[in-house]
A and B are shown apart, each in its own frame.
Chain A
Amino acid sequence: MASILRVNTLTDASSNNSVPMATVASGSAKAWINFNGTGTIAIKDSFNVTSITDDGTGNYTITIANDMVNAFYCSNLTSQAGATAYGFGTGDNTQTASALTGIFTIQHGGATQDVSHLSASINGDLA
């Protein structure tokens, strides 16, 4: 049977490692993903992600299932290094409460490149 526990603080049985529930809620990642950004792009695994969009070479959007409260959340992006690529993920500050947009994977000279592993995680407040 499902049940709800209302509590302010979690503490281990030895009364150590106390953590307020606000920290549990705020400290949990609200979304994460690992996806293949080459060819027909595909989610490998994810949490709280509805879909991904291919916006061009090395350019993607991640759509969030349960929206964030605003666009000021923390997003981390990491790309796979290509065989000859420089390869890292960046955002362009166009993220919204419902989507992480403007994700680019960059190679030498600033050109974008599709990669087969791209990870992202989001921390912040849910709506």
Chain B
Amino acid sequence: MASQLKVDTLTGVTTAGSIDVTGEGNSTTTNLQQGLAKGWLKFDQDNTTADDSHNVSSVTDVSTGVFNQNHSNNMANANYSTNITSGFYRVIGTNREDGGGTGVPDITSVAYFDVRYNSSGSTYTNIDMTSNTTVIHGDLA
């Protein structure tokens, strides 16, 4: 029988911040809180526009190709996982230029992202991309 639970907040019984969810294989469980993305962002740095986001209070355009994702609710520590997709590729003459996004958890309230491409084979150049998508996993404070 289909069922629907109406609730505003889910809290674990044994541990408030820990709820198990049965996985797709119907046997192994995964942890709800650990699996939830704690922040995500679609950022157009070319036009300095945050197209959509979750748990992001603001985005700081630090410099060309570099931006800070400022969290609304801070992380517990600076060991969280930061992923970004921001690809770049073009051919100018005989030169192939390609690159992508890099990122680190800067501090509990800020994740730092840096988008670069290989401009001559021996140096990199930062670039503002119109599409940067980020996602953060880890422990909330």
Contact = CB atoms under 8 A, between A and B. Distances in A.
For chain A, give the interface size range.
35 or more
B31 A47 contact: yes
A121 B13 contact: no
Interface residues of B, number: 51
Given A26-B24, A47-B137, A13 B32 contact: no
B107 to A, nearest CB: 13
Given A29-B35, A45-B139, A78 B82 contact: yes
Interface of B: 2-8, 10, 13-14, 21-25, 27-28, 30-32, 34-37, 77, 79-85, 99-105, 114, 116-118, 121-124, 135, 137-139
A8 B24 contact: no
B3 A126 contact: no
Contact of A120 (B3, B34, B83, B104): B83
Given A78-B83, A88-B100, A10 B121 contact: no
Contacts of B84: 78
A12 B6 CA distance: 5
Interface of A: 1-3, 5-13, 15, 18, 21, 24-26, 28-30, 32-34, 44-48, 66, 69, 76-81, 84-88, 108-109, 117, 119-121, 125-127
Contact of B135 (A1, A13, A121): A121
Nearest to B32: A28
**Sorted from nearest, which 10 A-B pairs have the closest CB atoms?**
A28-B35, A126-B23, A32-B137, A45-B79, A81-B102, A44-B79, A125-B24, A119-B81, A47-B34, A88-B100
B21 A10 contact: no
B23 A86 contact: no
24 contacts: A6-B3, A8-B2, A8-B3, A10-B10, A12-B6, A13-B7, A13-B8, A21-B21, A28-B32, A30-B35, A32-B81, A32-B137, A45-B81, A47-B137, A66-B30, A69-B24, A86-B99, A88-B99, A88-B101, A108-B124, A109-B122, A119-B81, A120-B83, A121-B137
Given A10-B5, A34-B105, A66-B28, 18 more contacts: A7-B3, A10-B10, A29-B35, A29-B36, A34-B82, A45-B77, A45-B80, A48-B34, A69-B25, A77-B83, A78-B101, A88-B99, A117-B103, A117-B105, A119-B83, A121-B135, A125-B24, A127-B23
